[in-house]
Amino acid sequence: MRTYSTTPFGRRPLSLAMVAAQAATRDFAAKPDASETVVHKWRLFRALTEAKGPIGVTDRALSVLHALLSFHQETALTLPERDPKSESEDNSAGVVVFPSNRELSIRAHGMAPATLRRHLASLVEAGLIIRRDSPNGKRFARRGQGGEIESAFGFDLTPLIARAAEIENLAEEVRAENRAIALLRERITLARRDIVKMIETGIEEGVRFALISIDGQDISDWEGLYGRYKALSAGYSRSLGRTGLEALAGELAGFAAEIQKLLETHVKLQKRSANESQTERHIQNQITNIPDLEPSLPEGRRDPSGLMPKEPEADRAEVSTAEAPGSGIGERQASSTRTYPLGMVLQACPDIVDYGKSGEISCWRDLVDAAAIVRSALGVSPDAWKQALDVLGEHDASIVIAAILQRGEEIKSAGGYLRVLTTKARAGEFSLGPVLMALLRGKAAKAARERRQAG
């Protein structure tokens, strides 16, 4: 009775993993329909490449396996039909390849012999191939009288046929996992974009809201919301697993819902205020027109006090003089009512702090004074600065100067750039919200790059 060698040649030990792989392969080959199993070797290799993580092999080991598969002449891997008259307990010579180390190294892209042996051992340990070593350790095939291979010594590929279904299932699980991770990353990207855009809108429109608590943190302004967003985004990385991505996606989605609720509440209040104002005007018009609806009343019964007194000409002249559009005072006061949190401005433009009193800025007056110094240092003319103050107001004009200083050499002419922004602001085409958010995003991206380089 002829049997195939199951132990490795020389000093290489026999491990329990090898024994398990050999037992599983022998049980599969003993099945009556084992010879009917046909596996496309390159499709199986592709599935194995996707499932290399769960199986426990490296890409270099797969390169060696690819070389071994290329020595099998047929594209299909299948067991030969068992001969009932044969005395052999193992009739798997048809899937044994027996290349020399030199030829195997060439097909493995010139891999060094020591590296080749190491990766062959990892393939054996993973149960993907079985060693069929000859008595002297050489790899060869012995043919019979008809030219058919009677026995072969080399590497047995039968475990690939036996584990084909398992490998396909593992590959499908990996593909499903990768799809789920890709969808989670899409959700995170969309949530981050929504949060940033909504925060920009809230800052730009001057939306105010009462104190809210998010995850135990009390937040009362948009600067606090942006700080919360940065804290959440700091936990996002390419190495984050599916569980971490699911948790982060849920937190960002809940945070985005809270911000959207704030904006929707503000919109509802605006609509209600507009409706109430319209109702008051409607009632006032009805009261004013009551005498016209009652022409039959005698002249003496009409209430003379219901008539609106005429405004004195002198008072109207004073009001028109005080609100003259050419004065610039009314424009500056109106534009100064809507501003941005000082902390957010300093976070986006930290360079201007060096020009503050004693090297710090603790209030808006300090920022205005520092902007006046920076304006002169940047070469902005007094006329351009006066126009910016008239149109933007002291606070917003100071923020623009801080942003110009922060961008540094990107802006060649600070005075010309300020005049362009003043012209746009006068036409209602400029807002500081996107400028500050762009500086904050650039600062966060730079910090992330520095962390990756340091890590």
Calpha distance 430→426 (Å, rounded): 8
Phi and psi (nearest 5°) for 153?
Answer: -125, 125
Q: What is the pLDDT of residue 312?
A: 42
Question: In degrees to the nearest 10, what's the CA dihedral of 339, 342, 343, 349?
Answer: 90
Q: Which helix (H) or strand (E) holds 149?
A: strand 149-156
Neighbours of 341 (CB within 10 A): 15
Pick from 25-29, 248-252, 337-341, 389-393: least confident: 337-341
- pLDDT band of residue 354 (cuts 50, 70, 90) is confident
Calpha distance 452→251 (Å, rounded): 24
Q: What is the pLDDT of residue 253?
A: 93
Q: What angle do CA 419, 421, 426 make, to 5 degrees?
A: 95
Calpha distance 33→362 (Å, rounded): 84
Of 301 and 27, more confident: 27
Percent of the chain whose predicted confidence (pLDDT) is above 90? 21
Q: What is the pLDDT of residue 11?
A: 63
Q: Which of 136-150, 283-297, 387-401 has the highest mean pLDDT?
A: 387-401
Q: What is the pLDDT of residue 409?
A: 74
Of 21 and 434, more confident: 434
Residue-wise pLDDT tens digits, 54-89: 999 999 999 999 999 999 888 888 887 765 555 444
Q: Of 217, 107, 90, give the one whose Cα is nearest residue 151.
A: 90
Please state the rounded mean pLDDT for residues 119-127: 89
Q: What is the pLDDT of residue 278?
A: 54
Calpha distance 99→68 (Å, rounded): 8
Residue-wise pLDDT tens digits, 259-271: 998 888 888 887 7
Q: What is the pLDDT of residue 427?
A: 87
Q: Of 226, 232, 225, 261, give the one whose Cα is nearest residue 247.
A: 232
Percent of the chain whose predicted confidence (pLDDT) is above 70? 77
Calpha distance 108→290 (Å, rounded): 101
For the chain, the first-to-last Cα distance in angstroms comes to 62
Q: What is the pLDDT of residue 179?
A: 94
HEC sequence for the chain: CCCCCCCCCCCCCCCHHHHHHHHHHHHHHCCCCHHHCCEEHHHHHHHHHHCHHHHCCCHHHHHHHHHHHHCCCCCEECCCCCCCCCCCCCCCHHHEECCCHHHHHHHCCCCCHHHHHHHHHHHHHCCCCEEECCCCCCCEEEECCCCCEEEEEEEECHHHHHCHHHHHHHHHHHHHHHHHHHHHHHHHHHHHHHHHHHHHHHHHCCCCCCCEEECCEEECCHHHHHHHHHHHHCCCCCCCCHHHHHHHHHHHHHHHHHHHHHHHHHHHHHHHHHHHHHHHHHHHHHHHCHHHHCCCCCHHHCCHHHCCCCCCHHHHHHHHHHCCCCCCHHHHHHHHCCCCCHHHHHHHCHHHHHHCHHHCCCCHHHHHHHHHHHHHHHCCCHHHHHHHHHHHCHHHHHHHHHHHHHHHHHCCCHHHHHHHHHHHHHCCCCCHHHHHHHHHHHHHHHHHHHHHHHC
Pick from 34-38, 109-113, 226-230: least confident: 34-38
Calpha distance 353→359 (Å, rounded): 6
pTM of the model: 0.56
Please state the rounded mean pLDDT for residues 322-344: 51
In eight-state DSSP terms, residue 20 is: H
Q: Of 69, 95, 97, 68, give the one whose Cα is nearest residue 81.
A: 95
- pLDDT band of residue 7 (cuts 50, 70, 90) is low
Q: Which two tokens stand for residue 108?
A: 């493995």
Q: What is the pLDDT of residue 51?
A: 93
Residue for token pair 């801080």: 402
Please state the rounded mean pLDDT for residues 80-101: 65
Calpha distance 262→214 (Å, rounded): 13
Residue 302 has pLDDT above 70, yes or no: no
Of 303 and 432, more confident: 432
